Amino acid sequence: MSNTKSLLTIKDLYAGIEEKQILKGFNLDIKPGEVHAIMGPNGAGKSTMGYVLSGRDGYEVESGSVTFNGENLLDLEIEERANAGLFLAFQYPVEIPGVSNLEFLKASVDAVRAANGEEAITSSELLKQAKAACKQVNLPLAFLKRGVNEGFSGGEKKRNELMQMLLLKPKLCILDETDSGLDIDALQLVAEGVNSQRSPDRSFIIVTHYQRLLDYIKPDFVHVLADGKIVKSGDASLALELESQGYAWLENGNVEAKIEE
């Protein structure tokens, strides 16, 4: 029997940045083990959704509620959200010169373990796990000694974030256009990494413009985001429909499309 208790519930969320309202009544409910794809045109609010959930500076919530694993997510600091099991893979991962990947991974894993009352991971165990994760995402082991994302290609940055996800084992993974800028081989590799982490207690939000990523990661639900709110929901076939029709129908006064159950 599947767990019917929601992992993430977003109700009537209004949020924005620098007094510009971007999310305008955003609603979403995700249960453990589910994969939800969010698609939509540029400026719809897809990245803002991820930033608001992760607590990025500058993004302000005007009203609405977000419950994550039984807690009020909006009351938690950024670090507390990460420690509670929320993971955001950025569309444009930043470089952290002077901090090696291995150091960054150790600090991140230890922070999550400490928040859960567990002892710090030993250096030998971390190295063992990191080497296995490197192999899984097809990054040379030498990348563990390099500065975080420093001099990495776009695809290497995305795979490096995937490696972080493999070690942190979050409850909810938000992938913000992880497919952007990837060739087909890198895309398949990222998809394989995500699919390997699918489990009854881990959920995913996949933010993407295109169907191609969803050829490899089959979502349970697909949502269309337009003008700051979800205007249509369906199963994986909705992504194929969007691929063939595009988003022009959103500009024809049909934003309030009937939501399919």
User: Read out DSSP for 41-78?
Assistant: -TTSSHHHHHHHHHT-TTEEEEEEEEEETTEEGGGS-H
Has residue 1 got a pLDDT over 70?
A: no
261 CB contacts (<8 Å, ≥6 apart)? none
Examine residue 142 and state whether it is found in any structural domain, yes or no: yes
Examine residue 260 and state whether it is found in any structural domain, yes or no: no
Examine residue 220 and state whether it is found in any structural domain, yes or no: yes
Examine residue 68 and state whether it is found in any structural domain, yes or no: yes
Mean local confidence (pLDDT), 44-52: 92
Examine residue 257 and state whether it is found in any structural domain, yes or no: no
221-231 pLDDT, tens digit per residue, is: 999 999 999 99
121 CB contacts (<8 Å, ≥6 apart)? 106, 109, 110, 113, 129
| CB-CB contact of 60 with 49 (8 Å) | no
| CB-CB contact of 55 with 87 (8 Å) | no
- pLDDT averaged over every residue in the chain: 88
How many distinct structural domains can be found in the chain?
Answer: 1
Examine residue 40 and state whether it is found in any structural domain, yes or no: yes
2-46 pLDDT, tens digit per residue, is: 447 899 999 999 999 988 999 999 999 999 999 999 998 888 899
Distance of alpha carbon 94 from the chain centroid: 16
Examine residue 259 and state whether it is found in any structural domain, yes or no: no
Mean local confidence (pLDDT), 210-217: 86
Has residue 256 got a pLDDT over 50?
A: no
Mean local confidence (pLDDT), 177-193: 80
Examine residue 23 and state whether it is found in any structural domain, yes or no: yes
Please report, for the domain that includes residue 142, its CATH number: 3.40.50.300
Give the percent of the chain with pLDDT over 70: 94
Has residue 181 got a pLDDT over 80?
A: no
Helical packing angle, 123-136 and 101-115, nearest 10°: 110
The candidate with the shortest Cα–Cα distance to 187, out of 151, 153, 212, is 212
Q: Domain of 100?
A: 8-251
